[in-house]
Amino acid sequence: MSGQSTYELDRRYVFHSWSAQAALKPLVIVSAEGSYVTDGDGNRLLDLSSQLVNTNIGHQHPKVVAAIQEQAALLCTVAPQHANAARGRTAELVISHAPDNMERVFFTNAGAEAVEYAVRMARQHTGRNKVLSRYRSYHGGTTTAVNLTGDTRRWANDLGTEGVVRFFGPFLYRTAFYASSEAEECERALTHLQQTIEFEGPATIAAVILETIPGTAGIMPPPPGYLAGVRALCDRYGIVLILDEVMAGFGRTGAWLALDHYDVKPDLITFAKGVNSGYVPLGGVIISAEIAATFAQRPFPGGLTYSGHPLACAAAVATMTAMADEGIVENAARVGTEVIGPGLNELADKHPVIGEVRGLGVFWALDLVKDRATKEPLAPYGGSSPAMNELVAALKLNGVLPFTNYNRFHFVPPCTITDDEAREGLVALDKALATVGHHYEG
């Protein structure tokens, strides 16, 4: 099928997410390999988006493709009440990369469902209803998950009925606490969270949920001591701590899980995306021994027809095995430290429109501004702008498939990206930033 035929078929029949349908002009992708995709016009683009920050192992990894084919020849599907080798092996490998207080895995089809079920577990375990989540976060598009979300996508779906209370997390660049250092930001953010808990009533709160490192909201690594401080508050008040690793997990930050950078043990961990690079949809909840014990003799009220689907699990086993055998997590850490981080900071020295560079591994964001002194964003919160549209067009013209959100550019390639590919992306970004420099007003 030609690129034009594919486009016409899509526009005739497909209903797209998060979009006004009449205004859409979707890019046709016909094939992909490694760090690149090919569009409907035959253009080869460096995928600095990892699609939706999920192709951690790159496109069409031969070992993962082969594992899916082999599993399909053996057993395409099986109901979740039965034991299956692919499912059991996936759970074993996931647990092997989790903190030592983790015991079981409940499988879902995606990250949003993982959040839904983690919250349900926390509520059942504690007998409480409220869940605290931070502004500048994203947890998924299903009802509970989108209400936990702290960005504009929540607004049209939020009736204020899901038992969610939001708070401000640490973000020194745009501090809500008038802090002047990371240490001060951390201390004041923890004080704010403690006050929120106390005013809401600790005995009413089931869980605090945090993206270990917020992703779509801006890739904001927490300051040292913050996650440990949240853990301490949860322990003090008997609150479940849920860490959302859907985007940050499985190599993205240069560690198996982003929480590995912070020496913290949550009660529940949600995952998806990078566990099998999205080759077949898969997500899940990693469950602590204490919460698993709650349901040892008491039925857990939930389930999914495709929980632990064998094709998805076979892809996950092959992905995690290849990551370990090929040093893919280590590559993400190294290329971030040696190439991407230094390269982005060099661009910040050259282009005033870059207000801040944030990230680690292959998980980076540029906060783009009109004025470094005022930090006025290059696009409004919740929207785009001519400048950002020009940036996206220039990036595609220079051979890059980008990830942008509001006023930010996210440099989020596969964990398998090579040094030369990363430099190719930096060169393209340099050229694209030059085209929007006239929007800078400082």
Please give the pLDDT value at position 243. 98
Task: Quote the CA–CA distance of 258 and 328 in Å, as a whole number.
Answer: 15
Tokens linked to 157: 């779906």
Task: Quote the CA–CA distance of 415 and 48 in Å, as a whole number.
Answer: 11
DSSP state of 41: T
The position carrying tokens 């895995």 is 105
| pLDDT tens, residue by residue, 72-127 | 999 999 999 999 999 999 999 999 999 999 999 999 999 999 999 999 999 999 99
- The stretch 389-411 carries a mean pLDDT of 97
Amino acid (1-letter code) at residue 53: V
Which domains can be identified in the chain, with CATH numbers?
A: 3-60+327-439 (3.90.1150.10), 63-326 (3.40.640.10)
CB neighbours (10 Å) of residue 16? 11
| pLDDT higher than threshold 80 for residue 148 | yes
The SS3 assignment for 169 reads coil
Using alpha carbons, list the distances in angstroms from residue 39 to 32, 44, 412. Answer: 9, 7, 19
| pLDDT tens, residue by residue, 207-218 | 999 999 999 999
Q: pLDDT band at residue 184, thresholds of 50, 70 and 90?
A: very high
Tokens linked to 165: 């209370």
Task: Give the closest residue to 217 by CA, choosing from 160, 138, 293, 298.
Answer: 138
- The stretch 229-253 carries a mean pLDDT of 98
Please give the pLDDT value at position 207. 98
Please give the pLDDT value at position 160. 85
| pLDDT tens, residue by residue, 323-341 | 999 999 999 999 999 999 9
- The stretch 289-318 carries a mean pLDDT of 97
* 430 φ/ψ sector (left φ>0, alpha ψ -120 to 50, else beta): alpha
Q: pLDDT band at residue 370, thresholds of 50, 70 and 90?
A: very high
For residue 175, the Cα-to-chain-centroid distance in whole angstroms is: 22
Please give the pLDDT value at position 300. 97
The position carrying tokens 């009925």 is 161
Q: How many CA atoms lie within 13 A of 199 on its CB side?
A: 10
The position carrying tokens 């099928």 is 1
User: Percentage of the chain with pLDDT > 90?
Assistant: 97
DSSP state of 150: -
Task: Quote the CA–CA distance of 427 and 268 in Å, as a whole number.
Answer: 40
Using alpha carbons, list the distances in angstroms from residue 204 to 128, 162, 191, 227, 288. Answer: 5, 13, 19, 22, 21
Please give the pLDDT value at position 16. 96
| pLDDT tens, residue by residue, 423-440 | 999 999 999 999 999 999
Collect all residues with Cβ–Cβ distance below 8 Å to 5 and sequence separation of at least 6: none
Please give the pLDDT value at position 165. 97
Please compute Rg for the chain using Cα positions: 21
Please give the pLDDT value at position 77. 98
Q: pLDDT band at residue 159, thresholds of 50, 70 and 90?
A: confident
Give the mean pLDDT of the chain: 97
**By the 8 A CB rule, do 309 and 280 touch?**
yes
Please give the pLDDT value at position 1. 75
Q: pLDDT band at residue 403, thresholds of 50, 70 and 90?
A: very high
C-alpha angle 121-273-355 in degrees, rounded to nearest 5? 105
Please give the pLDDT value at position 161. 83
